[in-house]
Amino acid sequence: MVEPLRRPVRPRGMPTFRHVPASAGLALVVVLALAGCGRTGDAHGARLPDPVGSWAVESLTTDGRTLHAPESAHLDIGRNQVKGNYGCNGFTAVAAFAGTSAVTVTPGASTTMACADMEFETAFAKLFQGELAIDRGPDRLTLKTADGSTIAMTSAPAVTDAPLTTTEWTVESLVSGGTAASVPAEAAGKARFTIAPDFTVSGVLGCNRFSAKATVDGSTVTFGPLTSTRMACEGAVGELERTLTELFGSGPLTAKTEGRTLTLTAADGKGLTAKASSAAE
């Protein structure tokens, strides 16, 4: 007697497997791979930084050499514009991004001071223009030129503006229109001043000490008559002193503080830049 065919009994709870064509399985793998490509992370899944932001320049590599950056070299990258410092001279540029993989930089205006590390400044200015590839890592950004030269940067810590008052300011450069010229070497560090909380000003013009009373109205500072010692000052120090005396007595000055740098500018475009040296006691 022939036994009737019996359909196997599947235990309860066991999943049903259906045959999936090989082409469909391959398509699923491709979809999953594409989904992973859209993530902005490194090999370990860490989120990569947006190129837009503040970056401290660490070093340049060019012509087989590595040049280490001065402490003040940085880039503040916006969506369309860049502001930065080559290490001593400030500059602006226009930025045109191609996603987050490349940027085209068109240089704008810059100051023209003679600085201590002109080799680095010149190399930085040469590299930071034209089309640059962007290589991102956690808290790091590297810009690469077509010939393989690089600008290596790291996330810049937030910089708090030094207060206008209670800060000792050392004059570093003199401004005329859009051009800044560094103080001559023999006069460097000789001119400095402090504005006290009661707006009493004291300091050194170059070789003579001085005092005055200032009026502060928003971003405008007006120095009253200067009282100073009467030593005869010659050479670059004397010329710096005469220039500062004329500037302080010229009327309202527009004050702008960025980080540790103060700029005072008169209505005719003449002015000075000074660095925060130390907090006054």
Residue 43: pLDDT band (50, 70, 90) is: very low
Round the average pLDDT of the chain to a whole number and report it. Answer: 83
Tokens of 209: 């000490």
The pLDDT tens digits of the residues spanning 83-137 come to 999 988 889 999 999 988 999 999 998 887 777 789 999 999 999 999 999 998 8
Tokens of 151: 């600008």
Residue 46 confidence (pLDDT): 47
**Does residue 249 carry a pLDDT above 80?**
yes
CATH architecture of 53-155: Beta Barrel (2.40)
Please state, in angstroms and rounded to a whole number, the distance separating the CA atoms of residues 276 and 278.
6
**Does residue 265 carry a pLDDT above 50?**
yes
Please state, in angstroms and rounded to a whole number, the distance separating the CA atoms of residues 42 and 122.
33
The proportion of the chain whose per-residue pLDDT surpasses 90, expressed as a percent, equals: 60
Which residues, at least 6 apart from 201, have a Cβ–Cβ distance to it below 8 Å?
193, 194, 195, 210, 211, 212, 213, 214, 223
Domain ranges of the chain: 53-155, 167-279
CATH architecture of 167-279: Beta Barrel (2.40)
Same fold flag, 53-155 and 167-279: yes
Residue carrying the six token digits 């500062």: 244
Sign of CA dihedral 227, 232, 233, 238: positive
Higher-confidence residue of 245 and 185: namely: 245
Q: Judge contact between 232 and 210, C-beta under 8 A.
A: no
Alpha-helix residue ranges (DSSP H) falling in the chain: 22-37, 118-127, 235-248
**Does residue 271 carry a pLDDT above 80?**
yes
**Does residue 50 carry a pLDDT above 90?**
no
**Does residue 177 carry a pLDDT above 50?**
yes
The proportion of the chain whose per-residue pLDDT surpasses 70, expressed as a percent, equals: 80
